[in-house]
A and B are shown apart, each in its own frame.
Chain A
């Protein structure tokens, strides 16, 4: 039972701390830092469902986040929808899109699948850049008075922060729930040997399409919230290939296949990145460092930080998923 799992309480405690830290002392700049950490955790956790659980490397995961941002911002800012409703609909819409797409491209294996995911990212980006209702390459903006519904801009920023933290906690709980379920077991079987999995009775086609679709939902919701908070979206910031790659770095760093590892990698990497970006000497080098980090992890610690911890303290394997 998930309710008796220690990791559930670690997740809840983590979310509570994330809420308390900026709220205590009304620290707005800390809040802006932490929302990026939360987004990183959301992206890494959901990417983990594909890479870590199912063994399919998705290089275009960010497409869900960007599309969610567009749908959410369009509904909330242009059509005047309630933000939560707009974000949920963005999640549902993007998930359905992923389901249909997944049934097609998940026939491909290994490098071919990975290449296809890059193709999707590029295709969606150019489609959106030419899509009139979404403002083509200039994108969409949130007019200032749209925030009035959330009690003004200042208040709206806090509301979106709490919502993003909730999505972060949900992402981790979803990862934990799937890991403990029969569905998760089927995914792991696919990851280990897809040919064996189907002979053992796993409906690999359906399982892969479902997890691809599920892994799209919360990033899309988060994208809707985040871009609404930022007040604007355009095709180059919504579908940033680099962010997609960095998601993979986060996951590898923390330890793919584990709930805690994905979150840890996401959080740590984001802290490192913002440090590098704000440091005048290193700001141009953050991608170099990301690449180097990925190389080191893949070569020397393929299990990431959590894998290393499992080895150092074997008992941790039983507690930390």
Chain B
């Protein structure tokens, strides 16, 4: 079966810094692919390359079999690839509902205002923000803003959703809630590609994981395989011998 998203050989340099180097992977239908790696590894940059916020120096991005390399973000979302931002970007002066209506109006279905409003209300129910729909987006807590990011992206009716650290800064209850939302999204038939630092969450949510370190793909596999990979352990814990030490212990 054709993968939903197929990235190959993608490379991006910022001046002297090789932020993403020759990375390739695929995301399948109804799959949750996790992306982990230390801070500054290039994860957000990889998202930016996939949805066209920045153009790659090399490599290709294919979505549903179509080459979308360097397509601008607004075209990418029309095709059904939506995303959230690690540093939340609410449309401050607008209400929560209006924020989500924007997502529905300019998303895959390019809805008119009236149907967009209906979709937006449904999505707000889904992320439990319906009670806040009339509030200014700027008045939400950080947890609320993260959910608003997800709601706006969902309102676009995507086939694939990129989530950039939607659990960061949340308390355990909120994390639990958000994990439920992500599961619900996948169960509704949308594939998810997510960056996450909360290990327990990403390990339990992901079908597969990609590990990035210094812009390069370090490992790929099921959460269990990745957790056992000595290179991954080294990248995370910084001790080259940690893997052997751990092995000895076992």
- Known: A182-B105, A200-B103, A202-B74. Is A192-B92 also a contact (CB below 8 A)? yes
Which residue of A is nearest B91, CB measured? A192
Which candidate, A99-107, A183-191, A208-216, is the interface stretch facing chain B? A183-191
A201-B106 in contact given A181-B113, A182-B112, A185-B98 (Cβ < 8 Å): yes
Encode A196-209 as 1/0 by CB contact (under 8 A) with B: 11111111100000
Q: Report yes or no: A200 in contact with B107, Cβ–Cβ below 8 A.
A: yes
CA–CA, A231 to B89, complex, Å?
Answer: 52
Number of interface residues, chain B, beta carbon within 8 A:
28
Docked pose: A189 CA to B116 CA in angstroms:
15
CB-contact partner of B93 in A192, A197, A204, under 8 A:
A192
B90-103: contact bitstring with A at CB < 8 Å (1 yes, 0 no)? 11111000100111
Q: Please tell me if B152 contacts chain A, counting CB pairs below 8 Å.
A: yes
Shortest distance between the CB of A301 and any CB in chain B (Å): 16
Would you call B51 an interface residue if the criterion is a C-beta within 8 Å of the partner chain's C-beta atoms? yes
- The interface size bin for chain A is 10 to 19
Q: Is A186's CB under 8 angstroms from B105's CB?
A: yes
Using an 8 Å CB-CB cutoff, how does the interface string of B131-174 with A read, 1 for contact, 0 for none? 00000000000000000000010001000000000000000000
B contact residues around A201 at 8 Å (CB) = 73-74, 77-78, 103, 105-107, 110, 156
Q: Is there a chain A Cβ closer than 8 Å to B64's Cβ?
A: no
A195:B89 contact, CB within 8 angstroms: yes
Contacts of B94 in A (CB 8 A): 188-189, 192
Q: Given A192-B91, A193-B89, A204-B74, A199 and B53 touching (CB < 8 A)?
A: yes
| A186 pairs with B106, CB closer than 8 A | yes
- Are A189 and B102 touching (Cβ within 8 A)? yes
B208 at the interface (CB under 8 A from A): no
Docked Cα-Cα span, A251 to B180, in Å, equals 47
Task: Kindly list chain B residues whose C-beta atoms are within 8 Å of the C-beta of A195.
Answer: 53, 89
Interface string of B36-78 (1 = CB under 8 A from A): 0000000000000001010000000000000000001110011
What distance in Å separates the Cβ of A198 from its nearest Cβ neighbour in chain B? Answer: 5
Across the interface, name the chain A residue whose C-beta is closest to B84.
A199
Whether A185 contacts B101 in the complex (CB less than 8 A), given A199-B53, A200-B152, comes out as yes
- Inter-chain contacts of A186 with B (CB < 8 A): 102, 105-106
CB neighbours of B112 from chain A (8 A): 182
Q: Would you call B12 an interface residue if the criterion is a C-beta within 8 Å of the partner chain's C-beta atoms?
A: no
Which residues of chain A have C-beta atoms less than 8 A from B51's C-beta? 199
Chain B residues with CB under 8 A of A196: 85, 89-91
Cβ–Cβ contact B92 & A198, under 8 A: no
CA distance A318 to B110 in the complex (A): 26
CB < 8 Å neighbour of B106 from A188, A191, A193, A200: A200
Residues of B within 8 A of A191 (CB): 93
Tell me, rounded to whole Å, the shortest Cβ–Cβ distance linking A258 to chain B. Answer: 12
Give chain A residues whose Cβ lies under 8 Å from the Cβ of B113.
181-182, 185
With A and B bound together, what is the CA distance between A188 and B110 in angstroms?
17
Contacting residue for B105 out of A185, A192, A193, CB 8 A = A185
CA–CA, A182 and B72, complex, Å = 20
Known contacts A186-B102, A200-B107, A202-B102; is-contact A193 B91 (Cβ 8 Å): yes
- The answer to whether B83 touches A199, judged by C-beta atoms less than 8 angstroms apart, is yes
Q: A residues within 8 A CB of B110?
A: 201
Among A191, A197, A198: residue with most chain B CB under 10 A: A198
Report A-chain residues with C-beta under 8 Å of the C-beta of B89.
193, 195-196, 199
If the complex has contacts A181-B113, A189-B91, A192-B94, are A200 and B53 also in contact, measured as CB distance less than 8 A? no
Q: Complex formed: what's the CA distance from A149 to B49 in Å?
A: 63
Closest to A181 in B: B113
Chain B residues within 8 Å of A, Cβ to Cβ: 51, 53, 72-74, 77-78, 83, 85, 89-94, 98, 101-103, 105-107, 110, 112-113, 116, 152, 156
Sampled A-B contacts (19; CB under 8 Å): A181-B113, A185-B102, A186-B102, A186-B106, A188-B91, A188-B98, A192-B92, A192-B93, A193-B92, A195-B53, A196-B85, A196-B89, A196-B90, A198-B73, A201-B78, A201-B103, A201-B106, A201-B110, A202-B74
18 more CB-based (< 8 A) A-B contacts, given A181-B113, A185-B98, A200-B77 = A182-B112, A185-B101, A185-B105, A188-B94, A189-B94, A192-B92, A193-B90, A193-B91, A193-B92, A195-B89, A199-B85, A199-B89, A201-B77, A201-B103, A201-B105, A201-B107, A201-B110, A202-B106
The 10 A-B pairs of least Cβ separation, nearest first, read A201-B106, A192-B91, A196-B89, A201-B77, A199-B73, A201-B74, A189-B102, A198-B73, A203-B74, A193-B89
